[in-house]
């Protein structure tokens, strides 16, 4: 086996491009492994686990490329393909321009060419967001900042600048938005309707929208505000602006505010603002109040709609009578992970970690710096599934799978074999999947559910129901031991 590693100083490519290049090169006959990634600590660690020698002196601003192939001929061909893919992605990244016209060099220049535009989506490395977003605001555009790792003081400055102009900054770390039925970022295909959302949680908003869709209720808008917006420091700057904007929208009959547990003083602030609106507001704060499923059920009752049984598929093999160990939650959505942790804490009456349970958010900034989000790139979670399934201290695996535009086009293609392999080696292991999606999503929720179910998992549309099922298996074991 021939190995090759190279560091390309200062050669930046976005993480989604690099993930796709890695997959395409890895699929070439004669290639046993390939990786193209920015040289962050996490990626260098992954490189070492793949059996490559970690280059000295590589840093997050550098590109590292590595290939393991069956001989020099296969390696040469793979290197040529890698270089061509990287060149092609660079050539396609210049932005839209008329034939014979040079692409715009700044956001402001692009806005001048598109005077009808009302929003700019910024997705560049976090340290470079501020000037691009300020340029968009100066051009009179609302801004959605998809990027994470933006300094807190810059977020506050951007939101203050937006307020002075009567605009809204959605984000940073705003992964999901729906504007007039058009999805931005990770957005599910939901029917139009009378409910709009203000969301300080991307996957939390997706869960509520997908459950509403399952109940036959549509969504008008979903304005993401970033996970830190309801912190003490940011103090709900964008959430307050979004509430006011939706209150003025004649098509919005009810607003849902979705967030991870907010700072208490900020929660009071937004509640007081909501009381002054003409449009009713339902709060969905999993971990401090009802879970997202129960909050959605409150929305349906406010609208006079029936609450349906949420879609679910029992495991295709019976759950073990006694699981061997604790719960391992391997999540791509931070709010879904936090909701599951809150449910586990309530069920156990104690911190789940004290009983050997562990719930991980692979979408956290620590895992996504220089890598594609786990809703796009399953590599880290696939490793974790194999690792925890081989650990006798693990009795239940709980996973979320979030569908929609921008996400992995077929997550079950990789996850279902990994689940089947995990269960094949352990008769005392159970797997539960929280599947967040709609039948109209490009991945087809029902087809994904069927594949995950066939692999042996219990599949739930409600993340809360999946968490209760999973922790219930562990509780049964704990009761026998106590």
> What residues contact 336, with CB distance under 8 A and at least 6 apart?
203, 204, 207, 400, 402, 434, 436, 463
* Angle between helical axes of 292-302 and 202-214 (0-180°, round to 10): 50
Q: How confident is the model at residue 390 (pLDDT cuts 50, 70, 90)?
A: very high
Summarised one tens digit per residue, pLDDT across range 206-232 is 999 999 999 999 999 999 999 999 999
> Is residue 144 domain-shared with residue 279, that is, in the same domain?
yes
pLDDT band at 48 (very low <50, low <70, confident <90, very high): confident
Q: How confident is the model at residue 110 (pLDDT cuts 50, 70, 90)?
A: confident
The percentage of residues in the chain with a pLDDT greater than 90, rounded to a whole number, is 66
Q: Tens digit of pLDDT for each residue in 61-78?
A: 899 999 999 999 999 999
pLDDT in tens, 245-299: 999 999 999 999 999 889 999 999 999 999 999 999 999 998 776 899 999 999 9
pLDDT of residue 5: 94
pLDDT at 439: 96
Task: Examine residue 107 and state whether it is found in any structural domain, yes or no.
Answer: no
Residue 17's pLDDT band, with cuts at 50, 70 and 90, is: confident
Whether residue 103 lies inside any domain: the answer is: no
pLDDT on residue 131: 94
| 441 has pLDDT over 90 | yes
Same domain (yes/no): 240, 346: no
> Looking at residues 141-165, what average pLDDT do you find?
95
Which of the two residues, 459 and 44, has the higher pLDDT score? 459
Q: Do 180 and 278 reside in the same domain of the chain?
A: yes
Task: Say yes or no: 34 and 141 in one domain.
Answer: no
The candidate with the shortest Cα–Cα distance to 254, out of 195, 330, 175, is 195
Question: What is the Cα–Cα distance from 85 to 80, expressed in whole angstroms?
Answer: 9
Q: Which residue has the higher pLDDT, 141 or 20?
A: 141
Domain with 88 in it: 2-94
**Cα–Cα–Cα angle for 171, 177, 181, rounded to 5 degrees:** 155
- State the alpha helices, DSSP H only, in 303-371: 334-348, 365-368
Dmax over CA atoms of the chain, in Å, equals: 75
* Boundary-marking domain end, from 94, 125, 155: 94
Residue 336 and residue 372 share a domain: yes
Tell me: pLDDT of 170 over 90.
yes
Chain centroid offset of residue 156 CA: 23
When pLDDT is cut at 50, 70 and 90, the band that residue 482 belongs to is very low
174 versus 370: which is more confidently predicted? 174
- What pLDDT does 278 receive? 98
Is residue 481 over pLDDT 50? Answer: no
Report the domain count for the chain.
Answer: 3
Whether 102 maps to a domain, the answer reads no
Q: What is the mean pLDDT of the chain?
A: 90
Rg, C-alpha atoms of the chain: 23
- Tokens at residue 464, please? 């809360």
Q: Given a cut of 60, is residue 45 above it in pLDDT?
A: yes
Domain containing 148 — which CATH number?
Answer: 3.40.50.261
| Domain annotation covers residue 73 | yes
Same domain for 251 and 347, yes or no, is no
């Amino acid at each position: 086996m021939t190995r090759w590693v190279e560091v390309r100083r200062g050669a930046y490519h976005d993480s989604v491009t690099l993930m796709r290049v890695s997959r395409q090169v890895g699929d070439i006959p004669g290639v046993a492994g390939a990786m193209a990634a920015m040289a962050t600590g996490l990626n260098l660690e992954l490189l070492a686990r793949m059996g490559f020698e970690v280059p000295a002196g590589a840093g997050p601003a550098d590109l590292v490329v590595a290939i393991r192939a069956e001989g020099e001929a296969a390696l040469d061909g793979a290197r040529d393909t890698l270089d061509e893919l990287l060149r092609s992605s660079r050539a396609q990244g210049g932005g839209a321009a008329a034939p014979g016209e040079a692409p715009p060099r700044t956001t402001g220049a692009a806005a001048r060419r598109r005077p009808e535009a009302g929003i700019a989506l910024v997705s560049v490395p976090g340290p470079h967001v501020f000037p691009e977003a300020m340029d968009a605001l100066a051009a009179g555009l609302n801004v959605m900042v998809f990027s994470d790792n933006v300094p807190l003081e810059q977020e506050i400055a951007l939101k203050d600048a937006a307020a002075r102009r009567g605009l809204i900054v959605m984000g940073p770390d705003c992964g999901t938005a729906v504007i007039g039925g058009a999805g931005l970022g990770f957005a599910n295909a939901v029917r139009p309707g009378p409910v709009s959302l203000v969301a300080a949680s991307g996957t939390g908003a997706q869960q509520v929208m997908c459950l509403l869709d399952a109940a036959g209720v549509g969504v008008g808008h979903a304005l993401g505000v970033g996970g830190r917006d309801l912190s003490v420091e940011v103090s709900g700057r964008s959430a307050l602006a979004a509430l006011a904007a939706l209150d003025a929208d004649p098509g919005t009959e009810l607003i849902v505010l979705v967030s991870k547990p907010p700072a208490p003083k900020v929660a009071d602030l937004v509640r007081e603002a909501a009381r002054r609106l003409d449009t009713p507001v339902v709060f969905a704060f999993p971990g401090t109040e009802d879970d997202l499923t129960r909050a959605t059920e409150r929305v349906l009752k406010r609208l006079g709609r029936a609450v349906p049984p949420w879609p679910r598929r029992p495991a295709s093999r019976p759950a073990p009578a006694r699981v061997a160990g604790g719960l391992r939650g391997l999540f791509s959505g931070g709010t879904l992970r936090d909701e599951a942790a809150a449910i586990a804490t309530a069920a156990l009456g104690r911190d789940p970690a004290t009983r050997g349970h562990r719930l991980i958010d692979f979408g956290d900034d620590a895992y996504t710096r220089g890598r594609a989000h786990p809703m796009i790139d399953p590599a880290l979670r696939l490793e974790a599934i194999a690792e925890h399934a081989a650990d006798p201290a693990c009795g239940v695996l709980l996973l979320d799978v979030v569908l929609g535009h921008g996400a992995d086009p077929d997550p079950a293609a990789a996850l279902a074999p990994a689940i089947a392999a995990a269960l094949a080696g352990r008769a005392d292991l159970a797997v539960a999947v929280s599947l967040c999606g709609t039948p109209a999503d490009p991945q087809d929720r029902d087809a994904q559910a069927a594949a995950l179910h066939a692999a042996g998992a219990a599949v739930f549309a409600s993340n809360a129901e999946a968490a209760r099922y999973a922790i219930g298996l562990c509780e049964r074991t704990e009761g026998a031991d106590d």
